[in-house]
Amino acid sequence: MSLVLVETQDKIAHFRLNRPKVRNALSPQLIEELSDAFKSADTDDDIHVIVLSGVGDHFGAGYDLTVDWRNLYGGNNPTGTRRMLAECVEFEMSPWSCSKPVIAMVRGYCLAGSCELSMMCCVTYASESAHFGEPEIQFSAVPPALVMPWVVGLRHARELLYTGDIIDASEALRIGLVNRVFKDDELEAETMRYARRVAAIDPVAVQMMKTCINFTAENAGFRQSIQYGIDNGAIVEATETESYLRFKEIAARDGLTAAIRWREAQFK
């Protein structure tokens, strides 16, 4: 079964993350398929715009916590965790690196790595039911791509990243995390309406405009900041804190859901 559904119509490619039973959590297979979809669309002259969304009620719950990500990339040590973060960042930057404009269409949960993925898109439209956040710090981890300060500014980013709190769509709109918020039943129509407007513009002009906007951030140190976050994040990820070990213990004994509930209860 494909974990990324691709539909192309009227110069618009629509990528839908297809793991609705687990809130479209990011798995190794999904990451590979989505990365390939972006690379394919980037070289397809018939595609002018890309829309990224999720099948079902949620955009994405972040990386699949049932996967042993640390060991997948070389073990629980600074070298292995750095490799893990670097691979995750390369994937998350797919919308940023793609020459075509990418629009994130978000409903439901948009958390952790999925939130970072949405922030790497050019524009984010959200439904009233959407919720955003980077809760990694509550689990003794860090976001692979520290992109939030570039999107919402330092003060809003500090407030959210220091606690891992989750915010609703109206708050996300207020701080600039999303461009617009629509009623749930209007989100897709409004997102596609904007996508069609962009698709009608000369693609060379739009792609050059994206390149110039990206260069503005990169000239100000965007990529260097992301790299610095990887290097420092590797230390955090490789440190087995008391809360991290307790989380693993509960997850092994009672299951992942029980471990998450145990951790969340400490912040109520």
Other residues' Cβ atoms within 10 Å of the Cβ of residue 231: 12
Q: What's the CATH code of the domain at 16? A: 3.90.226.10
Tokens for 249, please give them.
């213990």
Based on the structure, what is the number of domains in the chain? 1
Rg (CA), the chain: 18
Instruction: Please give the chain's pLDDT, 268 residues, in tens.
Output: 899 999 999 999 999 999 999 999 999 999 999 999 999 999 999 999 999 999 999 999 999 988 887 777 766 777 888 888 999 999 999 999 999 999 999 999 999 999 999 999 999 999 999 999 999 888 878 888 999 999 999 999 999 999 999 999 999 999 999 999 999 999 999 999 999 999 999 999 999 999 999 999 999 999 999 999 888 887 877 777 777 778 777 877 887 778 778 777 877 7
Eight-state DSSP code of residue 30: H
| Closest residue by Cα to residue 31 from 60, 10, 7 | 60
Residue range(s) defining the domain that contains residue 217: 4-265
Q: State residue 37's pLDDT score.
A: 98
**Cβ atoms of 107 and 20 closer than 8 Å:** no
Write out the DSSP string of 125-161.
Answer: EEETT-EEE-GGGGGT---SS--HHHHH-HHHHHHHH
Residue 160 CA to residue 182 CA, distance in Å, equals: 23
Provide CB contacts within 8 A for 150, sequence distance 6+: 217, 222, 225
| Closest residue by Cα to residue 127 from 47, 189, 61, 218 | 189
Q: State residue 75's pLDDT score.
A: 66
Other residues' Cβ atoms within 10 Å of the Cβ of residue 81: 25
Q: How far is CA 43 from CA 100, 122, 256, in A?
A: 9, 18, 40
